[in-house]
């Protein structure tokens, strides 16, 4: 079984984007960087498998909105933050 990860960015504008993905050693490095920057980590192998098929920097397709929304909601709850909304300033 290969370790596989995917990282998303959501700034409240449009849909979340896949900003990093990888397997094995690259996956371990992505997780290491995420931990160094206090990025919440959520385990969801099914979602990661689907995200792994999306090109980097591309928005997720509508078919993944519900699954990714559940993962992001859980990640934001872990960090104690609220997700950005369409009226929020991504730079703040």
pTM score above 0.75: yes
| pLDDT computed for residue 92 by the predictor | 46
DSSP assignment of 12-72 equals SSSS-EEEEEEEHHHHHHHHHHHHHTT------HHHHHHHTTSPTTPBPPGGGHHHHHHHH
> Distance between CA atoms of 26 and 5, rounded to whole angstroms?
9
| Percentage of the chain lying above the pLDDT 90 cut | 62
Contact 9, 60 (CB under 8 A): no
pLDDT given for residue 30 in this prediction? 97
Residue 4 tokens, joined: 């596989």
Residues in the chain: 92
What the chain holds in terms of domains, given with CATH numbers, is 4-79 (3.40.1690.10)
Q: How confident is the model at residue 63 (pLDDT cuts 50, 70, 90)?
A: very high
pLDDT tens string 20-39: 999 999 999 999 999 999 88
């Amino acid at each position: 079984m290969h370790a596989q990860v995917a990282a998303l960015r959501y700034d409240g504008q449009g849909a979340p984007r896949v900003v990093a993905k990888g397997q094995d050693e690259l996956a371990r490095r992505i997780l290491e960087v995420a931990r160094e920057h206090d990025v919440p980590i959520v385990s969801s192998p099914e979602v990661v498998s689907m995200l792994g098929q999306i090109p980097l920097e591309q928005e997720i397709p509508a078919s993944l909105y519900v699954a990714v929304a559940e993962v992001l909601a859980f990640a934001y709850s872990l960090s104690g933050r609220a997700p950005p909304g369409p009226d929020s300033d991504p730079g703040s």
